[in-house]
Structure 1
Amino acid sequence: MTTPALPSTARIGLSRGALELKGYFRETSAVVFTLAMPVILMLIFGSIFKGEVGHTGVDFRQYFAAGIIASGIMSTTFVSLGVSIAQERDDGTLKRLYGTPMPKAAYFIGKTISALVLSLLETLLLFVLGNVLFGLKPPSTPERWLTFAWVFVAGVAVCTLLGIAISSVPRSGRGAAAVLNLPYLVLQFISGVYFTFGDLPSGVRQVGAIFPLKWMCQGLRSALLPDTLLAAEPAHAWEHGRTGLVLAAWGVAGLALCMTTFRWKRRRDG
Structure 2
Amino acid sequence: MIALRAGWRRGLILLRQSFSNGAELFAHVFWPLLMVGAAVALRGRDFGAFSLGALAVPGILGMNAAFGMVSLSQQLTADREDGTLLRARATPHGMPAYLIGTLLLVGGGLLADLAVFLVPAALLVPGLVTGGLGTWLTVAGLLALALVATLPLGVVLGAAFGTARAQGLLTLPILGLVAISGIFYPLAALPGWLQAVGQVFPFYWLGLGMRAALLPDAAVAVELGESWRHAETVGVLAVWAVAGLLLAPVVLRRMARRESGSLVAARRERALRRAG
Instruction: Please indicate the TM-score interval, normalised by the length of the shorter structure.
Output: 0.7 to 0.9
The CA deviation at 1:227 is 0.4
Identify which of 60, 64, 67 aligns with 2:56.
Answer: 64
Q: Which residue does 2:77 correspond to in 1?
A: 86
Paired with 1:235 and 1:22, the residues of 2 have a C-alpha distance of 45
Paired with 2:92 and 2:165, the residues of 1 have a C-alpha distance of 29
Q: Which residue does 2:66 correspond to in 1?
A: 74
The CA deviation at 1:28 is 2.8
| Residue 28 of structure 1 pairs with residue 23 of structure 2 | yes
Paired with 1:36 and 1:162, the residues of 2 have a C-alpha distance of 27
The CA deviation at 1:186 is 1.7
Paired with 2:47 and 2:181, the residues of 1 have a C-alpha distance of 16
Q: 1:38·1:71 contact (CA, 8 Å) conserved in 2?
A: no
Q: Which residue does 2:274 correspond to in 1?
A: none
Identify which of 123, 128, 135 aligns with 2:126.
Answer: 135
Written as runs of structure 1 = structure 2, the 5 A alignment for 1:220-239 is 220-239=210-229
Equivalent position amino acid for 2:53 in 1? R
Q: Which residue does 1:208 correspond to in 2?
A: 198
| Residue 241 of structure 1 pairs with residue 235 of structure 2 | no
Q: 2:57·2:121 contact (CA, 8 Å) conserved in 1?
A: yes
Structure showing the higher helix proportion among its residues: 2
Q: 2:122·2:130 contact (CA, 8 Å) conserved in 1?
A: no
The CA deviation at 1:146 is 3.7
Written as runs of structure 1 = structure 2, the 5 A alignment for 1:46-125 is 47=41, 51-54=45-48, 57-75=49-67, 77-125=68-116
Q: Which residue does 1:3 correspond to in 2?
A: none
Q: Which residue does 1:153 correspond to in 2?
A: 144
Q: 1:116·1:156 contact (CA, 8 Å) conserved in 2?
A: yes
Q: 1:53·1:196 contact (CA, 8 Å) conserved in 2?
A: no
Q: 1:90·1:266 contact (CA, 8 Å) conserved in 2?
A: no
Q: Which residue does 1:4 correspond to in 2?
A: none
> Which runs of 5 or more residues in structure 2 are unaligned?
265-276
The CA deviation at 1:246 is 0.7
Identify which of 176, 192, 215 aligns with 2:182.
Answer: 192
Paired with 1:257 and 1:37, the residues of 2 have a C-alpha distance of 32
| Residue 13 of structure 1 pairs with residue 7 of structure 2 | yes
Q: 1:138·1:224 contact (CA, 8 Å) conserved in 2?
A: yes
Equivalent position amino acid for 1:17 in 2? G
Q: Which residue does 2:243 correspond to in 1?
A: 253
Residue 61 of structure 2 aligns to a residue whose secondary structure is helix
Paired with 1:229 and 1:137, the residues of 2 have a C-alpha distance of 11
The CA deviation at 1:101 is 2.6
Give CA deviations for 1:234-269 in whole Å, capped at 9, x if unaligned: 221110110111111111221233133221244985
Equivalent position amino acid for 2:23 in 1? T
Paired with 1:156 and 1:141, the residues of 2 have a C-alpha distance of 23
Root-mean-square deviation (CA), in Å? Answer: 2.8
Could you say if the C-alpha distance between residues 266 and 179 of structure 1 is closer, same or farther in structure 2, counting changes exceeding 3 Å?
farther
Could you say if the C-alpha distance between residues 161 and 143 of structure 1 is closer, same or farther in structure 2, counting changes exceeding 3 Å?
same
Could you say if the C-alpha distance between residues 199 and 133 of structure 1 is closer, same or farther in structure 2, counting changes exceeding 3 Å?
farther
Q: Which residue does 2:272 correspond to in 1?
A: none
The CA deviation at 1:42 is 5.4
Residue 174 of structure 2 aligns to a residue whose secondary structure is helix
Equivalent position amino acid for 2:159 in 1? S
Identify which of 153, 161, 167 aligns with 2:158.
Answer: 167
Q: 1:139·1:148 contact (CA, 8 Å) conserved in 2?
A: no
> Which runs of 5 or more residues in structure 1 are unaligned?
1-6
Could you say if the C-alpha distance between residues 49 and 134 of structure 1 is closer, same or farther in structure 2, counting changes exceeding 3 Å?
closer
Give CA deviations for 1:21-72 in whole Å, capped at 9, x if unaligned: 144343836963x775465455447636863333xx3212211111101111
